[in-house]
Amino acid sequence: MLKNTLKKAAREAGQLMKERFNSGFRIDNKDGVNDLVTEVDHASEKLIMEIIRNEFPDHFILSEEVGEIKMDSAYKWIIDPIDGTVNYANGIPICCVSIGIEHEGKMIMGAVFNPFMDEFFFAEKGAGAYLNEQRIRVSDKDNVSHSCLVTGFPYTYLDLPNGPLEVFGRFIRKGIPVRRLGSAAIDLCWVAAGRFDGFYEHKLNAWDSAAGFLLVEEAGGRVTDFEGNYYSPYQPHIVATNGKIHEELLKWINNK
Ligand code: IPD
Ligand code: CA
Ligand code: CA
Contact 86, 41 (CB under 8 A): no
Q: What percent of the chain has pLDDT over 90?
A: 91
Contact 210, 182 (CB under 8 A): no
Confidence of residue 155 (pLDDT cuts 50, 70, 90): confident
Confidence of residue 157 (pLDDT cuts 50, 70, 90): confident
Q: Is the CB of 194 under 6 A from ligand 1?
A: no
Q: Is the CB of 236 under 6 A from ligand 1?
A: no
Q: Is the CB of 41 under 6 A from ligand 1?
A: no
Average pLDDT over residues 8-25: 95
Index of the ligand 1 atom closest to the CA of residue 182: 10
Ligand nearest to the CA of 44: 3
Average pLDDT over residues 80-98: 97
Domain locations in the chain as residue ranges? 2-135, 144-253
Work out the mean pLDDT of the chain and round it to a whole number: 96
Q: What is the pLDDT of residues 173-218, one digit of tens each?
A: 999 999 999 999 999 999 999 999 999 999 999 999 999 999 999 9
Q: Is the CB of 182 under 6 A from ligand 1?
A: yes
Index of the ligand 1 atom closest to the CA of residue 95: 15
Which one is the CATH code of 144-253: 3.40.190.80, 3.30.70.270, 1.10.10.10, 3.40.718.10?
A: 3.40.190.80
How much is the pLDDT for 158?
A: 79
Q: Is the CB of 183 under 6 A from ligand 1?
A: yes
Residue 153 to residue 204: CA distance in whole angstroms = 9
Ligand nearest to the CA of 88: 1
Q: What is the DSSP string of 139-190?
A: -----GGG--EEE---SS---STT-HHHHHHHHHHTT--EE--S-HHHHHHH
How much is the pLDDT for 40?
A: 97
How much is the pLDDT for 239?
A: 98
Fold that domain 2-135 belongs to in CATH:
Fructose-1,6-Bisphosphatase; Chain A, domain 1 (3.30.540)
Residue 122 to residue 109: CA distance in whole angstroms = 8
Q: Is the CB of 184 under 6 A from ligand 1?
A: yes
Q: Is the pLDDT of residue 126 over 90?
A: yes
CA of 35 to the centre of ligand 3 (A): 10
Contacting residues for 211 by C-beta, under 8 A, at least 6 apart: 78, 98, 99, 100, 107, 110, 111, 112, 121, 123, 185, 188
How much is the pLDDT for 33?
A: 74
Average pLDDT over residues 208-232: 98
